[in-house]
Amino acid sequence: MSSLDWAPLKSIIDNNQSFLISSHVRPDADALGSELGMAAILRHFGKQVTIVNATAPPANLQFLNSDQQVLKLNEDVKQADLPAVDVYIVVDTSAWQQLGAMAEVIQSAGPKRVVIDHHVSSDNMGATEFKDTTAAATGELIFEAAEYLGVEFDSVTASALYAAIATDTGWFRFPSTSANTMRIGAALMELGASPHELFNYLNEQRSLARVRLGGRVLGRIETSEDGRLAWIYADAVDLKETGAVPSDTESLVNECLTIAGSEAAFIAVQQPSGQVKVSLRCRPPHNVAAVAEQFNGGGHKLASGATVGGPVEEAVRCMKKAFLKMLE
Ligand code: AMP
């Protein structure tokens, strides 16, 4: 169990009627599952809830949003049409930069803010914070909040939260996985989450383009002389020639860490904007959050991200230098 005191959340829920929930750009399963879990808690108490993110979920996660509850700003709802709400709840990030265009919406609105998160990197968002960096996923914290508040999830929400926790723990195997994580996983199964179906939805519905991109990108993996650092990249030509999209590179960086003797890895992916999204990974005792923070990014000690300027070769060169320094 986290040591968080959920009493302030109860009082915020009791004393307010309308809520807007948001999470980070390129929402992953933990972002979406946590948003849907939080929305279910609030609806249980008869509150009005809107969920809006700056960017849409990737295609492989759309199944979590089958009832289209999670809206995309300026596509499903214009900024001017957003409801004026009593409280803004940010889940699965504490970094303004990670909120994309939602940062401005939340900064310019009323002062009542809540953050529920498990990331190390953090801005002062002027919020009531429920933050536990030892939690394996934000979904784990949402489940604990629900337990405290006496809310039981239906099977659809339980599945979204299972997806949140399973993906953030690499299917319950990363060092962040605790006995409590397993307990929550079991409880979500009892509420109707089906691990094998979720694994299939999340990992076995890939496009041919994605698998081809993986072959191409991993085929030219490079390592430092001592083999402790491995890196890969995907540029616009790779995406065009395989027909893949930037999110198809997700999880490729983890393959780099399967090499014996590897201690750290990164992937640099050119985005349609020309910027380069870098995903950083390492094994203990290293800390890639500190590397990501040098580039205005952040995340966790073992898994972080940053968006840097292009071109890809320059991003790779800068990252390589920063990683080699970390490994010294
Ligand atoms: P990724 O590179 O997308 O695999 O991200 C790894 C982890 O770092 C995730 O938990 C992200 O939420 C977090 N992260 C990625 N980019 C950033 C950023 N610019 N600032 C803070 N956290 C980030």
Q: Which residue segments constitute the domains of the chain, with CATH numbers given?
A: 7-202 (3.90.1640.10), 208-327 (3.10.310.30)
Q: By alpha-carbon position, which residue is closest to atom 16 of ligand 1? A: 305
Report the distance separating Cα 190 and Cα 169, nearest Å. Answer: 20
Distance 269 CA to ligand 1 centre (A): 13
Report pLDDT digits (tens) over 232-250.
999 999 999 999 999 899 8
Atom of ligand 1 lying closest to residue 307 CA: 19
The torsion defined by the Cα of 311, 252, 158 and 73, in degrees rounded to 10, comes to 20
The pLDDT value recorded for residue 122 is 84
pLDDT tens digits along 142-194: 999 999 999 999 999 999 999 999 999 999 999 999 999 999 999 999 999 99
Both tokens of 231, joined, read 């890196």
Interval between CA 311 and ligand 1 midpoint (Å): 20
Q: Whose CA is nearest to atom 13 of ligand 1?
A: 299
Which of 271, 293, 304, 323 for a ligand 1 pocket mutation test, highest count of atoms within 8 Å of Cβ? Answer: 304
Question: Helix count (H) and strand count (E) of the chain?
Answer: 12, 12
* Cβ-based neighbour number of residue 28 at 10 Å: 21
Cα 266 to ligand 1 centroid, rounded to whole Å: 12
**Residue 2, pLDDT score:** 80
Average pLDDT over residues 199-218: 96
Query: Ligand 1 center to residue 305 CA distance, Å?
Result: 4
CA distance 156 to 307: 33
pLDDT of residue 308: 97
Closest ligand 1 atom number to CA of residue 253: 4
- Tens-place pLDDT, residues 277-301: 999 999 999 999 999 999 999 999 9
Tell me how far the alpha carbon of residue 17 lies from the centroid of ligand 1, in angstroms: 32
Task: Note the pLDDT tens digit of each residue in 37-81.
Answer: 999 999 999 999 999 999 999 888 999 999 999 999 999 999 999
Who's near 44: CB < 8 A, 6+ residues apart?
Answer: 149, 151
Which residues' Cβ are closer than 6 Å to ligand 1? 24, 93, 95, 97-98, 119, 121, 279, 297-300, 303-307
CA distance 236 to 276: 10
Q: What are the Cα distances from residue 259, in Å, to 1, 224, 231, 254?
A: 34, 12, 11, 10
With cut-offs at 50, 70 and 90, classify the pLDDT of residue 110: confident
277 C-alpha to ligand 1 centroid (Å): 10
